[in-house]
Amino acid sequence: MLKDSDTPAAATNNGSPIPPAQTTTSDMAGEAEHSMIVKIAVQDLVDSPWQPRRRYDETAIQALGETLKARGQDEPIRVRKLASGKYQLIAGHRRTRAARLIGWAELDANVMALDDREAHQATLLSNETNEGLSDFERALSYRELMSEGFAETQKDVARLTGCSQGRVSQCLGMLKLPPVVLDLLEKYPALLSYRHAKVAQEMLDKYPDALSKITTTLDTLIDKPDLEPNELKVLISKALESKRPRKAAVEPRTIGDKNGRSAFKVRVHAQQIVINIEEGVDVEMAGKRTLAALRQFAESLELPAEKKA
């Protein structure tokens, strides 16, 4: 059946719903099947404040509109009536937008009796069927289920949504990203999957001073929707590498013979001394003299005793 797979939404705060019947979320499917289907003017439909989708894909809405024109409306949207006379969407946000786009005046709808809390819960529990709902939007929905008291633990969330507990945990992990990255996800919810977010967090943990550079790199994913997580790691690494200052090469010191011609080039770096011997110099003799000089120098030293294991 044609669905827009939107999250069932809930009541607005600027209009009181008509007195609800004693309906629980578990009863909603059965109630929807037995409720009367009515036609409602599209102009009378209003969004839910609990709709988890942050952003609508206009291309997908256009495609859905073309499907509606070709096949008609296979399944009614779900709404509840407000005291204002408007109808608040429970399920059907994408179909409503598509209907407006193609100029439809009305849609078939099931009018349900739900109070605010029931509608709120219904919205969140339908997330798993939502078309194109991002991992970030799911994470916000899972968190809301717990913060509003619909679920106490991640295990409860998994049971309610029919999702694995591991997936719930992975999505919720995205909310531990720095605020600047979360702001980016609010703007572009589908920018990162939970797998991409895990890579981003690993790189942030490894390079805590590179938040700005990493965030800028994440922003470029808008133009790279098919980038794999391992490719993201490479992309961030390259961005950080280009910013790191290269260490200046150590210039060799030249030691000349009695006529000033180069006999040795010496590089001293960290705990290393590298001696390059020019042609014409007796290498064996140079080695003996160097070792003798080092022995003489060592005899003047008094190094700290080695610690016993």
Judge if pTM exceeds 0.85: no
Residue 30 has pLDDT above 80, yes or no: no
Report the C-alpha gap between 100 and 65 in whole angstroms.
9
Q: Which ranges of the chain does DSSP label H, i.e. alpha helix?
A: 28-34, 58-71, 93-101, 116-125, 135-147, 154-161, 165-173, 179-187, 194-206, 211-219, 229-243, 283-299
Give me the mean pLDDT over the 10-14 stretch.
35
User: Are β-strands 262-269 and 253-256 bridged in parallel, bridged antiparallel, or unpaired?
Assistant: antiparallel
Q: Which residue has the tokens 């997936």?
A: 167
> pLDDT, tens digit, for every residue of 133-178?
899 999 999 999 999 999 999 999 999 988 899 999 999 999 999 9
Q: What's the confidence (pLDDT) of residue 51?
A: 87
User: Are β-strands 37-41 and 106-111 bridged in parallel, bridged antiparallel, or unpaired?
Assistant: antiparallel
> pLDDT, tens digit, for every residue of 80-131?
899 999 999 988 899 999 999 999 999 999 998 899 999 898 877 765 666 6
Please return the burial class of 207, using the count of CB atoms within 10 Å of its CB with bins 0-12, 13-18 and 19+: middle
Range from 100-114, 178-192, 233-247 carrying the lowest mean pLDDT: 233-247
Range from 103-112, 143-152, 220-229, 254-263 carrying the lowest mean pLDDT: 254-263
Report the C-alpha gap between 48 and 162 in whole angstroms.
23
Residue 33 has pLDDT above 50, yes or no: no
- Confidence category of residue 230, pLDDT binned at 50, 70, 90: very high
Residue whose C-alpha is closest to residue 35's, from 87, 96, 72: 87
- Confidence category of residue 254, pLDDT binned at 50, 70, 90: confident
Alpha carbon 144 to its chain centroid, in Å, reads: 17
Structure tokens at 26: 């578990």
Q: What's the confidence (pLDDT) of residue 123?
A: 73
Q: In whole angstroms, how far apart are CA 253 and each of 54, 269, 282?
A: 63, 12, 19
Which carries the bigger pLDDT value, residue 17 or residue 297? 297
E strand or H helix at 11: none
Residue 279 DSSP symbol = T
Percent of the chain surpassing pLDDT 90: 50
Report the C-alpha gap between 201 and 112 in whole angstroms.
43
Give me the mean pLDDT over the 250-275 stretch.
83
Give me the mean pLDDT over the 2-13 stretch.
41
Structure tokens at 119: 């509608």
Question: Considering the chain, what is the average pLDDT of its residues?
Answer: 84
Please state the φ and ψ torsions of residue 257, each to the nearest 5 degrees. -80, -170
Contacts of 86 (CB under 8 A, 6+ apart): 15, 44, 45, 46
Q: Under a CB-based contact definition with an 8 Å cutoff, are residues 168 and 223 in contact? A: no
Length of the chain: 309
> pLDDT, tens digit, for every residue of 54-82?
888 899 999 999 999 999 999 999 988 99
Percent of the chain surpassing pLDDT 70: 83
